[in-house]
Amino acid sequence: MKKTLSNRINSLIIIISILLATIFFVLILNLNGYSQKRELSQINYFLDTLLEQKKEVLANEIFSGQDEAIESTIEEFTANEGILLGEVYSINREKLSFSGEDFNQDKTIDPNELKREASFKLDSIDGRELAVYTSGIVLGEENFGYIRLYYDVAPLKEYSRHTTGIILLLLAIKTLVLILILNIRLNEIVVNPIKKLEQDMSSISDGKFEVGREESQILEIEHMRSAFNHMAQSLKQTQENLESLVNLRTKELTESKRMLSVVIDTIPTPVFYKDSSGKYLGCNSAFAELLGKSKEEIVGKTIFDLMEESYAVPVFEKERQILASPKSQSYEGVFNTIYGVKDVIVNKASIVSDSGEVEGLVAVMSDITYRKEMEREMKYDAKFQELIADISADFISVDGKNIDEKIRSMLKAVSEFFGSERTYICRKAESDIYIDTLDWCGDRAPHAHREKMDESECPCFRDIAKDRSIIVINSLEELPEEAKSEREFLTKFQMKSFMGVPIAPGGNVEGLLGLAMMCSERRWSSKEASLLKVIANVFTDALEKKDIEDKLKKSNKELKRLSETDRLTQLYNRLKTDEVLEYEIVKSSRNRIPFSVILFDIDNFKEINDTYGHSAGDNALLELSKIIRDGLRKTDTLGRWGGEEFIVICPDTGLDGAISAAEKIRMAVESHKFEKVDKVTCSFGVTEFEMPDTKNTIVARADAALYKAKRNGRNRVEFK
C-alpha cells in the first residue's frame, strides 16, 4: 500500500497520543507514591515529637523502677489515634510494660532491632500492615531503655488507594477524550485538507482537475479556521484543567505544610530546621522566644548571624557531621538565650531526600536547666555534708593538746569548700581576742598564724557579740558612713569582702568564724551564710564538748587527788601509800632492785595536843610534813600512815641509804623551831625489802624498829 503524506501524519498523531497518555499515567503514579511517602514521613515525625515530649519522664520512671508509672505513660502513647501498641524495654532489652493490642505477645523480639538510634519501617504482622517505630530512651549521653510503637497504616493506605483510584479513573477518561478530540480535530484541520490536496494534485496529473470551486473552497477554508479555533479552545481548556489540578495539589501541599507548621508551633519545646548550607528554614515560637527574635528575623540566617562565635563554632562543627551524611545526634550543652544561659538536651537528625541526599537537619531542644541546677545543688549539698562529717569526726577526739591543729585543719577544709582567700576563727579569752587565720590568697601556699588583740580592736566580733547575727560585707563601698571602725578593720587586714557568723557555746558569744576575700570582691549568698552558720554550730558544739570534758577531767583529777591525799597534810594517805608499797614490792621482786621503808612518828604528840591544843598539834603536823618533803628525793614517796605516824618509801635504796635519809630528816626536825610548840622530835624505824616480804611483813619490821627507837630514848633512828 502506498504511504501518502496524510497516512504518515495519521501515524504520527497516534504515536503522539500514546506518548501523551503514557506521560499522564507516569505522572499520576509518581504523585501517588509521593503522597504515600509524605504521609509516612508525617507519621514518623509525629511519633518522634510524641517521644521527645515523654522521653525525660520515661527515663526517670525506668531509672527509679516505677512500673505502674511506666504503664500509665505508655497508655498516653496508645491513646493517640492510629497507635495500636506501645512497648517499653529496659536497657537489657527486657520488656517492662506495654499498652494496646498485644499481638506481639508470642513473637520473639530480635535484640538487634532495639537500638539507640530511632528507626521507622513498614512490617506485616498477623496480616496487618503496620509502621513500626523503634528508638532508644536517651537523655544526654545515657540510654535508659527502648520504646516500640506500632502504627496502623491500613486506613491511610485505604484512603490513599481510594483517592488515587478516583483520580486515575477521571484522568484516564479525560486523557482518552482529549486524545480522541485531538485526533478528530487534527483529521479535520490537517489530514483531510492534505488528503484533498493530494486528490487535486492527482487530478492535475491525470488532467481531470476542474476550476470553479471557489465558493466551496472558501467554505472549506472557513471550516479549517473554525476547526483550528475549536482545537485552540480545547487545548486551552486542557491547560486550564491541568493548571487546576496542579493548583489543587499545590493547595493540598500548602495546607499540609501549614498544618505541619501549626503542629510544630504548638510543641512547647524549641524546634528548628535548616537547609544543607546551615541556614534556618524555619522554627517554632518557642525557639524564636528564646532568642528574643521573630521567625522572620531567624529564617535565612546562620547560627553565626544570631549568636556569638564562641558558642556558634562548636555547634556548627556538630551540625557539619549531620549535614555530611545521614545520622542523628543527642547531646547536652548550654544555650545562650535572652533569659540567660540555659542547660539543654539537643536532639538532631538529618533530613534525607528520596534519593538519599542530605537536604538539611531538624532539631528539638529540651530545657534541663532546673534538673541541672538540682543536680549541682545535690552535689553541693553532698559535698557540704561530707565536710560537716569530716569536721565533726575531727572534733570528736579534740583535746587541749591538739585543738590548734584541729582548728587549722577545719579552716583549710572550709576555705577549700567556699573558695575563700582567707578564713578566720576569732576566740575570746577574758578581754583579749585570739585570731587564728588561714591565708589562702592568690597562688600562695596556705599560711596559718595566730595573733592577739584587744576586743575593742575587733569591731566585727563586737557587732556579732552584740546582735548574735551574721555579718555580710560584700564591698567596702557598700558600708555606711557610721561603719567607720569596720572599714578601718577590713582595710587593716586587707580584706575586700567579709562574712562572719557567731560561735556561741552555752549561748554566750565567745568567737566568730569568718571568710574573707583579699584579691577581689565577692557577693556572699544567703545559702553560703547559712552553711557557714552550720559549720560554726559544729565548732560551737565541739567547744562545749571540750569545756564539759575539761571540767569533767578536772573534777575527776580532784576526786582522785582527794581519794589519795590526807586532808590536813596533803600527803599521800594510807590507801595510796599501800598502793605505792605494793608496786615497789612487785618491781623489786621482779628486777631484784632494792628499796627501803622508813616509818616514824612524833615523840610525845599527845602531850602537845593536851598542852597546846589540837590546833597547835595540826599546825605541828603541817610544818613537819613540809620539812620532811623538802628533805626527800623526788623519787621518794611520803605518806601519812595514821595519826602522828608517817611513812617514807625509798625506791632503789638499800638499808644504809635509808638510814642516812632517816637521820637527815631527824636532824632537820630537831633543829626546826615550830610555831607555838617550839621543839618537836621524831623516832624512826628503818628496814630494807627482803624476799619474800609482803606489805604487812615489811611494815611490821619497820614498826618494830620504830618502837625500838622509842624504847631506847626517842629522837633516834633504829633499823631491823
- β-sheet with 432-439: strand ranges across: 447-454, 432-439, 422-429, 511-517, 497-503, 471-473
Query: Is-catalytic flag, 644?
Result: yes
pLDDT tens digit sequence for 298-322: 999 999 998 888 888 999 999 999 8
- Res. 716: pLDDT tops 80: yes
Radius of gyration of the chain (CA): 56
Residue 122 three-state SS = strand
**pLDDT higher for 646 or 247?**
646
Supply the pTM of this predicted model: 0.43
Q: What is the mean pLDDT of residues 107-114?
A: 66
- Res. 635: pLDDT tops 50: yes
Catalytic member of 87, 644, 688, 718 = 644
Return the half-sphere exposure (C-beta side, CA atoms, 13 A cut-off) of residue 407. Answer: 25
User: What are the sequence ranges of the domains in the chain?
Assistant: 268-367, 375-551, 565-719
pLDDT of amino acid 186: 65
Same fold, 375-551 and 565-719: no
Domain 565-719 top-level CATH class: alpha beta
- 375-551 maps to CATH 3.40.50.2000: no
- Res. 5: pLDDT tops 60: no
pLDDT tens digit sequence for 508-563: 777 778 888 888 888 888 888 888 888 888 877 777 777 777 778 888 888 888 88
| Architecture category of domain 268-367 in CATH | 2-Layer Sandwich (3.30)
In sequence order, the 6+-apart residues with CB closer than 8 A to the CB of 249 are: 31
| Cβ atoms of 56 and 366 closer than 8 Å | yes
pLDDT tens digit sequence for 233-255: 877 787 778 778 777 877 776 77
Q: What is the mean pLDDT of residues 438-466?
A: 58
d(CA 614, CA 599): 23
**pLDDT higher for 465 or 155?**
155
Helix ranges (H only) for 104-213 are 154-186, 192-206
Cα angle: 214, vertex 220, 226; to 5 degrees: 140
- Res. 660: pLDDT tops 60: yes
